[in-house]
Amino acid sequence: MKISILYYSKGGKTKIMAEEVALGMKQIQNIEVRLFDLSCNEIDEKFLSESKAVVFGTPTYYASSCWQIKKWFDESHKYNLAGKLGAAFATADYAQGGADCAISFILHHLMVKGMLVYSGGSAYGQPFIHLGAVALKENFEESKRMFQVFGERIAKKAVELFS
């Protein structure tokens, strides 16, 4: 089963966390995951269209996602995401930086695209992931495991829904 991760990363932290999400996804049998950096503008359209889940990652700027994510959604009319599982994650410098707002911004776009929105669920216990995984500057290294769990939960849910 194919899963795509689309992200933007100016300083490299969001890219690192995208890789951690992918690492968690790869723990589930028969998952093929590819990462697409929105700054490169090189999305494999066939892979994305065949993906059963699509995850978006953003750095947080002024309590919102980066403009590159917004631009992608504004120009993504050629990508049919309806019915796919969708999720989001963010990186931020500070706890009050608005990462939850950045993730909510993305989740709203996923719903408009007709996606099935998934957070990784706090009902599964530790680590509690409410809207999506968040990595802060102060605990960046410690957050890597949570991002792996986030990826694993998304892959499991995709298998459950689409196999």
Query: What does pLDDT average to over the chain?
Result: 95
For residue 96, is pLDDT > 90? no
Domain 2-162's class?
A: alpha beta
Q: Tell me, what's the pLDDT at 85?
A: 98
pLDDT at 156 exceeding the cut of 90: yes
pLDDT for residue 41 is more than 90: no
- pLDDT confidence band for 124 (50 / 70 / 90): confident
In angstroms, rounded to a whole number, what is the distance separating the alpha carbons of residues 22 and 54?
11
Other CB atoms within 10 A of residue 71 CB: 12
Lowest mean pLDDT among 48-52, 60-64, 73-77, 118-122: 118-122
Mean pLDDT on 64-85: 95
How many C-alpha atoms does 133 have within 13 Å on its Cβ side? 29
Stronger pLDDT, 46 or 127, i.e. the higher one = 46
**What tokens were used for 112?**
């408009």
